[in-house]
Amino acid sequence: MPNNFDYTAAVRGVCEDICLRLPDFFHVRMADVAISFRQTRHNENYGVFASLTPLRFKDGAVTEKRRGCFWTIPPVRDNTGHAFLYVLTVYMPRFANLTLTEKIETLVHELYHINENFNGDLRRFAGRCYAHGSSKTRYDATVRKLAAEWLQREPSPQLWAFLKYDFGELSSRYDGITGLCVPIPALIRVDPS
């Protein structure tokens, strides 16, 4: 019987613990956040490490008007039919090759994008750069503080031990690295009536 490691299930465990321990994430219901992974073409140490895809528009709207047309996002469902509000994707092996601290900060960064009303929209800051606010440096400082706070609350090392290993080290410990790959839906044009 193969000894596979379910990376997305392990990431889910860390995210659930972050949301249980830190007040800034008490509004997040991880049951409504799909955890996914994508394979990157290259193993370079730059590019996207993770992303959070909202599955609703501004203020949780299910449709949005753009250039005179109405659009919707098709639902993303699990195998029981449960619809998610967000998809958090880690990009492998790039994410796995970050340092332990960088991995935790990356997960906190993506979770912090979740709207305070947990309505499928992103957390929106004032100004043109609504996703990170007027200062990406300030956003990153908030993320670093929250990641450090989570570790100070002493989560079980068994929960996050896998984050200590890079992709090669994990691959040598297991027969395979597995996980869910959730397709990101394309917008669909709809009739406003």
pLDDT of residue 167: 93
Are 21 and 111 contacting, i.e. CB atoms less than 8 angstroms apart? no
pLDDT of residue 1: 54
Cα dihedral across residues 83, 86, 44, 18: positive or negative: negative
pLDDT tens string 54-89 = 999 999 999 999 888 999 999 999 999 999 999 999
- The answer, yes or no, to whether residue 127 has pLDDT greater than 70, is yes
What pLDDT band is residue 43 in, cutting at 50, 70 and 90? low
Distance, CA of 84 to chain centre: 12
- The answer, yes or no, to whether residue 15 has pLDDT greater than 90, is yes
Is the pLDDT higher at 67 or at 51?
A: 51
Q: From CA 123, how far away is CA 117, in angstroms rounded?
A: 9
Q: Record the tokens describing residue 171, joined without a space.
A: 């691959």
pLDDT of residue 131: 81
- The answer, yes or no, to whether residue 133 has pLDDT greater than 90, is no
Collapsing DSSP states into helix, strand and coil, what is residue 62?
coil
pLDDT of residue 118: 97
- The answer, yes or no, to whether residue 5 has pLDDT greater than 70, is yes
Q: From CA 111, how far away is CA 30, in angstroms rounded?
A: 10
Q: Which residues contact 45 (CB under 8 A, 6 or more apart)?
A: 94, 97
pLDDT of residue 39: 87
CA-based nearest residue to 164, from 91, 92, 96: 96
CA-based nearest residue to 183, from 84, 106, 115, 99: 84
What pLDDT band is residue 159 in, cutting at 50, 70 and 90? very high
**Position 46: which residue type?**
Y
What pLDDT band is residue 130 in, cutting at 50, 70 and 90? confident
Give percent of the chain above pLDDT 70: 96
CA-based nearest residue to 185, from 20, 55, 4, 38: 55
Are 122 and 115 contacting, i.e. CB atoms less than 8 angstroms apart? yes
- The answer, yes or no, to whether residue 38 has pLDDT greater than 70, is yes
Report the 10 Å Cβ neighbour count for 72.
Answer: 16
**Hunting for tokens 């394309």 — which residue is that?**
186
**Hunting for tokens 């949780």 — which residue is that?**
60
The model's pTM is: 0.93
Are 15 and 35 contacting, i.e. CB atoms less than 8 angstroms apart? yes
What pLDDT band is residue 135 in, cutting at 50, 70 and 90? confident
